Amino acid sequence: MIKEVLHKSYFIQFATLDECPKPGHRHSFFELVYVQSGTGRDLYNQELVHQLVNTLIIIVARNIAKYLPEQVTISTEGKAIDIIQYIQHHIYEPEKLVAGQISEKFGISDAYLGRYFKKHTNETMQGYITKYKTKLIEHRLKFSDKRINEIAEEFGFTDVSHLNKYFKNQKGNSPKAYRKLLRT
């Protein structure tokens, strides 16, 4: 009886490249993860790559869904989803998040915009903007080393005291105290 190793361990190699190391190759988004086999055999690699890509897609979809209002479903009107995406894209530019700008962009009257948004998302537009902005600020405080004044500038607050007042109103703590609570 002959013993043969059908599968040797694999490793995942991460590299930042400007162009593919193999001449003449063009790779798509789904080929960003390279799994290299120790034997050169491609028995399990393709299956493993498919599983890794599927996992990445699921994680991205969950993260996107986290920031959508609960009422938004597949049947939600496209224009409502476009408004949400516009808000998320321009969250760092408060001057673009006023009703006049949004209603002009999407061809809805100023008077109807708020009712339209609430009808399709089950929350007010201002409430959504506030919750989304607060969630992003929380994320910055938790996962970045940015100073409070840098976060205030990033989100278009006039100064740190304006951010402090806004955040304290939303979360009950100043950004500095909130960060300290998270890190202890």
Give dist(CA 34, CA 27) in Å, integer: 11
- The domain ranges of the chain are 10-66, 77-184
Q: Which position has the higher pLDDT, 29 or 99?
A: 99
Residues 67-76, mean pLDDT to the nearest whole number: 60
Torsion angle of C-alpha atoms 154, 155, 156, 158, degrees rounded to 10: -90
Q: What Å distances lie between residue 33 and 21, 45, 47, 61, 103, CA to CA? A: 14, 11, 13, 18, 42
Look at residue 138 and tell me whether its pLDDT is greater than 60.
yes
- pTM, two decimals, is 0.61
Q: Closest Cα to residue 131, out of 99, 183, 167?
A: 167
CATH code: domain 77-184 is 1.10.10.60
Residue 112: per-residue pLDDT: 93
Please check whether residue 137 is in contact with residue 167, taking contact to mean a CB–CB distance below 8 angstroms: yes
Residue given tokens 């001057």 in the structure block: 95
Q: Which position has the higher pLDDT, 112 or 73?
A: 112
Residue 131: per-residue pLDDT: 92
pLDDT per residue over 11-52, tens digit each? 555 566 656 666 666 655 444 444 444 444 555 677 777 778
Give dist(CA 18, CA 107) in Å, integer: 42
